[in-house]
Amino acid sequence: MSFKAPRGTKDIYGEDIFIWQKVEGILREICERFCVSEIRTPVFEQTELFQRGVGETSDIVTKEMYTLEKKGSESVTLKPEGTAGAARAFVENSMYADPQPTKMYYITPAFRYERPQAGRQRQFHQFGVEIFGSCDAACDAEAISIAYEALNKIGVKNIELKINSLGGNECRKRYNEVLKDFIKNNISDLCGDCRERFEKNPLRVLDCKNEKCGNILENAPSVLDCLGEECKAHFEALKTNLDNMGIPYTVDPKIVRGLDYYTKTVFEFVSNEIGSQGTVCGGGRYDNLIGECGGPQTGAVGFAMGLERIMMLVKSQKLIEFIGKNIDIYIGSIGEKGFLKAQSIGYELRKSGICAEYDTLKRSVKAQLKYANKINAKYSVVIGENEVLNDSINLKNMKESSQEEIKLSDIKEELLKRI
């Protein structure tokens, strides 16, 4: 019987894992510079955390969550996103009692039951940053600057930052009423999902990716016209901060994000090079979430970056060159005594920081040296009984096709001088 990876999942190995590790290394280095610490939360949480935090009207909760069969009395769900778990950890571990702000990042798998397509998997990976403890627009700008610097450091081209404000609770109430009136007049022309969203959360209609709905919603009223004075001032402060930091942006009133917890600032980094799944990073402010999770009222802002979509851009734009294995020496062997010596020397070299490989398949010497070429070893030697008895080997420079005789007992010192 043969097995395949579940639909909507993908094995990551070879050249791909090399690129993933390079990108993850860049993200970790960026976070270190921005004084953001890593957090690792469980891959599953209580189902109610996502229902309360992400929002019962969101597509994630209503259609996409992987909720496990109950074991005992508790229902748990594989995390569909990272923010709710980080907020729960902030409250449960009383991080709000520490000096603020609290800045955390994660690189995590997440799970949503969706129709698999390019840039959208059922198991996918997110890089996310959450900043707790400040309600100031400067903190929104800092979160955006982390994402902006990360994308620049990776080298991704043709990315546009779009920003918007959803306002606070009163602003959203006003806008919902205005939006409802607009949608009522066009509801027969909207898709089934939009008609369903209209009943539960009208704001979610603006997030529809259906082209026909998009054309209709182009004429929808702007949420910016319904902002109160405090929310207007917050949005203007954000723009001032971004201008001062030299971060370009476009104000787009249609940016609402797909999660119910957002308040005031929302933003997306968008690419036009990966088809319909063009949003590579999205986030915003969510000042009510910590309270929803049982903590004190706390300002919060963050974002998540879809790593699969980043990898699509990295590969299509050829941003990271695959180098392959960095093997310093291949140790060939002849006979049992030669193999035992090759294995013991290989182990000693590895302990000294030298990348060494040797034969474990009982291949001929010719096949071993052919393999040394394939793996791009810098040097090679062949050890047999005579080499062991005479304490002498020929060290071959594979690139220059030159060789020199050295003492077998001196191989570590000789390699350390050359590498």
99 and 234 share one domain: yes
Question: How many domains are contained in the chain?
Answer: 2
312-350: buried (b, 16+ CB within 10 Å) or exposed (e) per residue? bbbeeeebbeeeeeebbbbbbbbeebbbebbbebbeebe
Given a contact cutoff of 8 angstroms between Cβ atoms, the answer to whether 77 and 66 are in contact is yes
pLDDT digit string, tens, across residues 133-162: 999 999 999 999 999 999 999 999 999 999
Positions in the chain short of pLDDT 70: 53, 55-59, 62, 258-259, 275-277
pLDDT digit string, tens, across residues 329-366: 999 999 999 999 999 999 999 999 999 999 999 999 99
CATH number at residue 364: 3.40.50.800
295 and 390 share one domain: no
390 and 259 share one domain: no
Domain range for 339 is: 329-418
- CA dist 347 and 356 (Å) reads 8
Residue 77 included in any domain: yes
Residue 73 included in any domain: yes
- CA dist 130 and 68 (Å) reads 27
Residue 211 included in any domain: no
- CA dist 202 and 207 (Å) reads 10
279 and 400 share one domain: no
pTM beyond 0.85: the answer is: yes
Residue 135 included in any domain: yes
Number of residues assigned to the chain: 419
Which pLDDT score is estimated for 221? 87
Residue 195 included in any domain: no
Which among 325, 328, 344, 358 has a CA at the least distance from the CA of 388? 344
Which pLDDT score is estimated for 244? 98
163 and 56 share one domain: yes
Which among 150, 143, 141, 162 has a CA at the least distance from the CA of 245? 141
247 and 268 share one domain: yes
Which pLDDT score is estimated for 239? 98
Residue 238 included in any domain: yes
Neighbours of 383 (CB within 10 A): 24
